[in-house]
Chain A
Amino acid sequence: MEKSVVFAGFGGQGILLAGKVLARAGMNEGFEVTWLPSYGPEMRGGTANCTVIVADRPIGSPVVDSPDALVAMNFPSLDKFEPRVVEGGTIVVNSSLVKRKVRRSDVTAIPVPTNEIAAELGNPRVVNMVALGALVRALGIVPLEAIETAMAEELRGRSRGKLVAVNREALRRGFGEAGKYLRDR
């Protein structure tokens, strides 16, 4: 098993952190993982992406031609990465900002209004965890509980317990949203 995910969006949407949480959860579950950020001279509001691979064998290339899944948090990210997703793959798209549908018919599209959900939870910064929750359900290789634990570990040191609670709720809401589009899980 080897699954690859591209997280892409604006700088500031927390996509690097979302990727890190998945990588950490994968590691905690005993898998091999790589987390590869785009690290150009970026700034808040610019574009950013990272590639995460989770595998049950040593990982060769951390660079991926065709990811198994894409999390597209903004419009340019969907335009750029949609054509690259593997046939039968998954695209989680932030439908709050991306006002077009996924064009590919050979992938599973999961539109999630992350901004609205985050606003309901009272913290606009948790959009990344809403999207990650949806992705995790579609991916089906790491349980939601492992993601919640990894998220708490990532936030340890930089926040109080309250932030962990709202991020956990965000993960669960995203996980729930994905259920609308996935028959088997």
Chain B
Amino acid sequence: MSRVLMRGNEAIAEAAIRSGLKCYFCYPITPQGELVEYMARELPKRGGVFLQAESEVAAINMVYGAAAAGVRTMTSSSSPGISLKQEGISYIAMARLPCVIVNMMRGGPGLGNIAPAQGDYFQATKGGGHGDYRLIVLAPSTVPEATELVRLAFDLADKYRVPAMILADGMIGQMMEPVKLPEPVDSADIPPRPWALTGARGRPKNVISSFDLEPEGLRRMNLVLQETYREIERAEVRWEEMETEDAELIVVAYGTMGRIVKTVVRLARAEGLKVGLLRPITLWPFPYGAIRRLAERTRAVFTVELSAGQMWEDVRLAVEGRAETPFYGELGGVVPSPNRILEEVKKYVG
């Protein structure tokens, strides 16, 4: 199939439609405006529902409703908008409903700015909303990968009845790259949803709920979630390695920084420096085991991210003192160039 040149935001929208998306709810925000525009233009033509809600809170609760009714559903926003959606995400997680949430991160905290940033890592991977829940968090580093991960997000959300998040940033949303779009999914391949609220005529009624006033009952609901999360941690950890075999220093970086560090590894190798990259693709479940194994045979595991060290905490949990764990982060939407990162790398290797 031939390649098409698409913006990240548009490619994600098209991939979602081809993944069987039926209901998309949103409230617009930069830098993911093109995703909303694309959905507004394309989804109704192709048999789906596009609805711009009166607020982010309304949009996520519409996702809650559509998911309960048993269709593939999605919302997208950027950092401050995702903050507003957290209550609904927590409800969806407890109600065990599959859906996809796209966060095109921007500079924060607060209103921040619209430049690329990775300051929502904690929010995405450690909860964000209240209660003991997890999202499956997928972090694309290129536009083609974003289209693949959208399909995976829908599939994993369905498989485990857990909401999945695409965590990218303004750079991936705004840039264009050639993509091979996935074939449209056959509706017969979308898993059946015997739990969905489709009308109870002729069968016992289904109940979708995120509460139980009896502590024992709520405990049981929580244990089901926790069992599901352990299963996901066993089966769904994904990451990419580059030049790690003989590396004396492993850089851990994801998303936009992951691809920028690929250039850093090339530059370092050209100077004879033994530098490698581990790029987490799933931020939750996090590749603790893969990082631990590399830490055992390397001098330093160097975290590079567009935050004050949010993923760094997970990297240190993985390394547990087996190697040095230096850190370099940029804040406020500043994106460091490959040579700038190489300067930092050279402090610890060679």
* A contacts, CB < 8 Å to B: 20, 23-24, 27, 32-37, 39-41, 58-65
Q: How far is the CA of A59 from the CA of B177 in the complex (A)?
A: 10
A37 to B264, CA, bound (A): 22
Give the residues in chain B near A20, CB-CB below 8 Å. 5, 176
CB-based contact A33/B177 at 8 Å? yes
| Chain A residue at minimum C-beta to C-beta distance from B266 | A60
The smallest beta-carbon distance between A15 and chain B, in angstroms, is 14
Interface residues of B, Cβ cutoff 8 Å to A: 3, 5, 30-31, 114-115, 170-171, 174-178, 259-266, 335, 337-340
Contact B31 A39 (CB under 8 A): yes
Specify the chain A residue showing the minimal Cβ separation from B340.
A65
Taking a contact as CB atoms under 8 Å apart, the answer to whether A63 and B170 are in contact is no
Question: Max chain B CB contacts within 10 Å: which of A34, A60, A63?
Answer: A60
Instruction: Give the chain B neighbours of A58 by CB distance below 8 A.
Output: 262
Measured between beta carbons, the chain A residues less than 8 angstroms from B114 are 39-41
Least CB distance from A87 to B in Å reads: 14
Residues on A with beta carbons closer than 8 Å to the beta carbon of B178: 27, 32-33
* Bound CA–CA A40/B335 (angstroms): 14
User: Can you give 26 A-B contacts (C-beta < 8 A)?
Assistant: A20-B5, A20-B176, A24-B5, A27-B5, A33-B177, A34-B177, A35-B177, A36-B171, A37-B174, A37-B175, A39-B30, A60-B262, A60-B263, A60-B265, A60-B266, A60-B338, A61-B260, A61-B262, A61-B263, A61-B337, A62-B259, A62-B260, A63-B260, A63-B335, A65-B337, A65-B339
Residue in B171, B176, B265 whose Cβ sees the most chain A Cβ within 10 Å: B176
User: Nearest-CB distance from B120 to chain A (Å)?
Assistant: 19
Q: How far is it, in angstroms, between the C-alpha of A168 and the C-alpha of B170 when the chains are bound?
A: 33
Q: What is the CB-to-nearest-CB distance from A99 to chain B, in angstroms, rounded to a whole number? A: 31
Task: Say yes or no: A62 contacts B175, CB within 8 Å.
Answer: yes
Residue of B nearest to A153 (CB): B5
CA distance A27 to B5 in the complex (A): 8
Query: Are the CB atoms of B176 and A35 closer together than 8 Å?
Result: yes
Min CB gap A83→B, angstroms: 14
Task: Give A62 to B259 CA distance when docked, in angstroms.
Answer: 8
Q: Which residues of A contact B177 (CB under 8 A)?
A: 32-35, 59
Residues in chain A near residue B262, CB distance under 8 A: 58, 60-61
Contact of B171 among A33, A60, A62, A65 (CB under 8 A): A62
